[in-house]
Amino acid sequence: MADHAPAVRRRAPLRRGLSRQALVLVLLIAVAFGTAIYMGVRHPYQTPANSGPPAEPLRMTVIPLAPQGTVPGATDPEYLYAHSPAAQFRIGAEGIPLPAARRTAHFSDSQVTNALSIAKDYIVRSALYPDVLTGDQIRPVRVLLDPEQLDQFDQSFGHPAADGRHAPTGWLVRFDASQAELADRRIRVQGTLQAAETDSATLEVTADHTFVYALRAAEGEGAAEASLFTVRRELHFRFDREDLRLRQAQLVVSYVQAGPLSCAEDSTNRLHPLLAGQTAKEGGPAGTDPYATGGATALCGSLAVGSQPKV
């Protein structure tokens, strides 16, 4: 027995600790687990920290302006424009020029220019698009609004109310298409745009424009003479950095004066222009109940004689 090798082979001693491959595998699992936890805590669609305060609801005022006599008219809209205060106004979007953009303390030149451009785009879509003016389309305006204002916008068109919050004519210009139509699509416009920084996270753009439309009675509604209808709009827009990145706006103030209109007509949902040869209906605006909460004071003005074309 002593002359032969042992019947049992000796094994090499086991190495203590993990192998290199096992260590790499454990490390990869740890990294993946940590990444999953991080993404769960910091969701990629969370609102950025510098997005600014929540959007305010739009506050709006729509004031009808009643003529003091008969609305003047003519068969040629160009003649009316030439004999009105809008004779030197530009046509369409050319009447809404962008001012020179200057950087502010916290916003660059390009960001200020972007805010002015978005505001102009909103004004053009809400006051110059023919399909919007006749009340057929609202989407071109809706897509430019901050998502936090969409519920208010939709409620305004779903359930219009003269409460200073939910009047479609506060968001855009639109006429009663069953009564009036555009006699000339070359709408006259004049006004200004101004941008200013309100705080480190917010830009505000103020727009003040006068629009003059040539209208005539809708087909089958009587005389074909055209008349002029004037809308003065003062709009206040607010932008945070997320709005600028997504090309959207917060519309926070809308102040509108429009005429010739009858004070007795409801201008909440659509404007009902008085056309050539017509006069304002008797009666003032709807009564205001000082005991009711949540309502807005009914307002009406008188359209100055000098604002009408001289025919």
More confident residue, 61 or 287: 61
Alpha-carbon 256 to chain mean position: 14
- Residue 179: pLDDT band with limits 50, 70, 90: very high
More confident residue, 114 or 282: 114
Residue 2 lies in a domain: no
What is the end-to-end Cα distance of the chain in Å, rounded? 138
Residue 175 lies in a domain: yes
Does residue 305 register a pLDDT over 80? Answer: yes
More confident residue, 253 or 30: 253
Structural domain boundaries, residue 188? 59-282+296-307
Residue 44 lies in a domain: no
Residue 108 lies in a domain: yes
Cis peptide before 260 (omega within 30 of 0): yes
Residue 125 lies in a domain: yes
* Res 5: pLDDT: 57
* Res 49: pLDDT: 43
- Lowest average pLDDT, out of 15-29, 38-52, 86-100, 176-190, goes to 38-52
Contact 60, 256 (CB under 8 A): yes
* Res 135: pLDDT: 81
Number of domains in the chain: 1
30's tokens: 């740890």
Distance CA 11, CA 308 (A): 111
Q: What is the mean pLDDT of the chain?
A: 87
Does residue 240 register a pLDDT over 80? Answer: yes
Dihedral angle over CA of 268, 273, 279, 284, nearest 10: 10
Average pLDDT estimate for 125-150? 95
- Determine if the pTM surpasses 0.85: no
- Residue 2: pLDDT band with limits 50, 70, 90: low
Residue 37 lies in a domain: no
- Residue 284: pLDDT band with limits 50, 70, 90: low
Distance CA 121, CA 115 (A): 10
* Res 269: pLDDT: 95
SS3 content of the chain, % helix, strand, coil (to 5): 25, 25, 50
* Res 98: pLDDT: 95
Contact 282, 264 (CB under 8 A): yes
Residue 87 lies in a domain: yes
Distance CA 86, CA 308 (A): 10
Distance CA 51, CA 37 (A): 24
Residue 192 lies in a domain: yes
- Residue 43: pLDDT band with limits 50, 70, 90: very low
Average pLDDT estimate for 66-78? 94
**Residues facing 238 on adjacent strands:** 204, 250
- Residue 11: pLDDT band with limits 50, 70, 90: low
